[in-house]
Amino acid sequence: MRGLIAIRPSAALLSADLFHLAYRRHLPLLGRRSPIVPLRTPNSGGRQLATISAMASASKAEDARVPPALQLALPPVSKFKIALCQLSVTPDKDRNIAHARKAIEEAASKGAQLVLLPEIWNSPYSNDSFPVYAEDIEAGGDAAPSFTMLSDVARSLQITIVGGSIPERSGGHLYNTCCILGTDGKLKGKHRKIHLFDIDIPGKITFKESKTLTAGEHPTIVDTDVGRIGVGICYDIRFQELAMLYAARGNLHINVGAHLICYPGAFNMTTGPLHWELLQRARAVDNQLFVATCSPARDTGAGYTAWGHSTLVGPFGEVIATTEHEETTIVEEIDYSLIELRRSNLPMGSQRRGDLYQLVDVQRLKSQ
């Protein structure tokens, strides 16, 4: 089987309901619903069985994305201002809601057309707090005061809000959920954190969101007055496949990829200094688009201490604006013309090797 790259399912082949990343070379075409083809690969002098989905051999760049990547649409605006509201969070939910509203209003007064809030801005970040502070977003009104505030202020100020995240209660489950509100105050999309934060770094930090939260099932990209926005929450930023998917397709109802990915997040004092900026710049430069993040302000007296450092990154991986750990709001301009400029400087989209690797958008493929 010379020329084949065998992928061990336990290590290198990612297959899920959201996306599937396969490395291949010169595999025979066996149809759309290809059977699994066994490959024999050497391993420490022996032969080990591995499997990989058989796909068509191709050298065209568009074959590196299955279905093929869609063209970037002309955004409704070429330039606009975004605000990153790095908020302090307390155990007082009413105070947190009023405080967030004030920050949004101040950002809009400075010309912001898009406002991004932090992860879990209405509640302390803890498994004990999530059930207590959770809201029924679908019910709205008194059952969802945080969501209701976001809807009211988006409509009154005629701005777009990527509403950080709040604990959501739905169907007997709890989710870490980001609501995206349009200029009319209506819910344009809702992202439930796909990758739950379950980590253990001995002597540093241990946290397991899955003790209380349920993982989301769908990538989220929305069409707004300031362009097409993909959304991830905190730990989602570590999974480059999700950002690649956003850049390649949008969602099942939007026929082009994102201009901007927003990640409300609350990295901690262990991983924050090492990975927070690194991951933002990686997601931006890998996909040649804008990335915006927003963290809560640091509170060393809280049970969970956030790193802070909310940041806006451009499509060349450049840090356009950032802050330290204290409460503050960044208002900065996004110029979408930089996306096309950088994609012409480094034409990666036309240089991918569809004969060697593919990102398979499983949901989009199933919808066809």
- Residue positions annotated with a catalytic role: 119, 193, 234
Residues 265 and 234 sit within 8 Å (Cβ to Cβ): yes
Residues 59 and 355 sit within 8 Å (Cβ to Cβ): yes
Residues 6+ apart with CB under 8 A from 274: none
DSSP class of residue 137? T
Whole-number Å distance between alpha carbons of 220 and 6? 32
Residues 292 and 82 sit within 8 Å (Cβ to Cβ): yes
Whole-number Å distance between alpha carbons of 122 and 103? 13
Three-state SS at 290: strand
Three-state SS at 165: coil
Residues 6+ apart with CB under 8 A from 278: none
Whole-number Å distance between alpha carbons of 334 and 80? 6
Whole-number Å distance between alpha carbons of 149 and 87? 16
CA distances from 217 to 145, 197, 234 (A): 25, 15, 16
162: amino acid identity, one letter: V
Both tokens of 28, joined, read 């025979």
